[in-house]
Amino acid sequence: SLQELRDNVDGCLADNDHVLLSQVVARYPVTQGVLELAGYIILASKSPHYCAKDQVDTVDGGTGGRWVVPRVMFCRETVGGEE
């Protein structure tokens, strides 16, 4: 579910101000294939996250495959605020 994916992203953001999709799937391996990756891209379309359609990353698809996907960066809500 999207909530599970959101929880995975939040788990990575607990240690970092920002994290790439490739780092999230390295920590939480993909088990549902390309649909799971699509879920992460959907999450990235919501602020404060970032999806660069003109840049790509290769990520582990979990089923022995690798996919080229838009570069996705998940950011904490507080990034860009006062330090």
Query: What are 4-32's pLDDT values in tens digits?
Result: 999 999 999 998 999 999 999 999 999 98
* Pairwise CA distance, residues 24 & 1, whole Å: 16
The whole-number pLDDT of residue 12 equals: 95
29 upstream amide cis, omega within 30 of 0: no
Indicate if the pLDDT at residue 80 is higher than 80.
Answer: no
Q: What is the pTM of this model?
A: 0.83
Whether the CB-CB separation of 52 and 33 falls below 8 Å is answered with no
Q: Is the dihedral of CA 3, 7, 8, 12 positive or negative?
A: positive
Indicate if the pLDDT at residue 1 is higher than 90.
Answer: no
Give the H/E segment covering residue 68. strand 66-75
